[in-house]
Amino acid sequence: MAIPNETKLTLGPVLFNWAPETWRDFYFRIADEAPVDTVSIGEVVCSKRTPFFAPHIAEVVERLEAAGKEVVHATLALIMSDHDLDAVRALAEVPDLLVEANDISAVSLLAGRRHTIGPLVNVYSEGTLATLAEQGAERVCLPPEMPARVIAALAKTAEPELEVQVFGRLPLALSARCYHARSRNLHKDGCQFVCADDPDGMAVETLDGDPFVAVNGTQTLSHAWCNLVRELAQLEASGVRRFRLSPQDVDMVAVARTFRDVLDGRLESDAAFDILDDLAHGSPFSNGFFHGTEGVRLVEPMVE
């Protein structure tokens, strides 16, 4: 009898300002076609965007759950006002709702009930993991800058289930200022939602014209897209069983199928890397953080 594969795929929340109908239809297709186990939804970056897609949340959740997906509701990563805090409180007060905390204030509000921790909460040690578990965290998506040796060390004793982002631009920082608005000589309060012009984030170059990072409203992201498809076996060997895909404006169903095929042994990782390279339409990949070097680098995995 074949041993069932216990690995799971999570689709993280859309970080970018997509049109409401695009956002809705994206999740409908994920529900119907993508081999992911968990889907995280909700606004993480800027609360001003929430009213646009909020009318579609109920039908998206219904479609996802009908397809057998676990739905997690993500909180904002930077609480800027009483209104933002009230939104987190509202999620925390809904019985049986599984919430992903992306800010330490959300962790406090969710204490005592089951919840998950997103990659924007700093979790770097066994002690932090133990404390979060005591407060009810059953799953922790580790920060993107974690090297393999630290991930393996945490996996040895972690009580919560550990998750690692393996695809998509990496979330690096958030600011009270809106970079997108500033780039158009606009004030944050009158931003005109110009972040919608860049569905994968806005590229930022150095003074020498070299690609540097990407910005998404108030958020700074990596320029290169994380791609750890060739490191999946190493992550599994270290004890990680859950892998996160962060949505980009590409065929995420095909991305999910590619990762699932590698995890299930139907596809070699090098072939999968080439498939993902085609799907990314020329966007560069990186895995430097995982290999303990500069995050922007693409390191060739060791062949044993």
- pLDDT of the residue at 43: 96
Give the 3-state secondary structure of residue 216: strand
Helix (H) or strand (E) holding 24: helix 20-33
Split at pLDDT 50, 70, 90, the class of 2 is very low
Q: How far apart are CA 100 and CA 79, in angstroms?
A: 14
pLDDT more than 70, % of the chain? 98
Split at pLDDT 50, 70, 90, the class of 146 is very high
User: b or e along 157-172 (b: 16 or more beta carbons within 10 Å of the residue's beta carbon)?
Assistant: ebebbbbbbbbbbbbb
Q: Enumerate the β-bridge partners of residue 71.
A: 39
- Where is average pLDDT lowest: 26-30, 38-42, 87-91, 289-293? 87-91
- Give Cα 169 distance to the centre of its chain: 9
Q: Which of 246, 242, 278 is nearest to 74 (CA)?
A: 246
pLDDT over 50 (residue 1): no
Split at pLDDT 50, 70, 90, the class of 5 is low
Mean pLDDT over each residue of the chain, to the nearest integer: 94
More confident residue, 72 or 182: 72
Calculate mean pLDDT across residues 113-139. 95
pLDDT in tens, 237-271: 999 999 999 999 999 999 999 999 999 999 999 99
- pLDDT of the residue at 176: 87
* CA dihedral of 127, 241, 226, 33, whole degrees rounded to 10: -140
Indicate the fold that domain 8-170+225-283 takes in CATH: TIM Barrel (3.20.20)
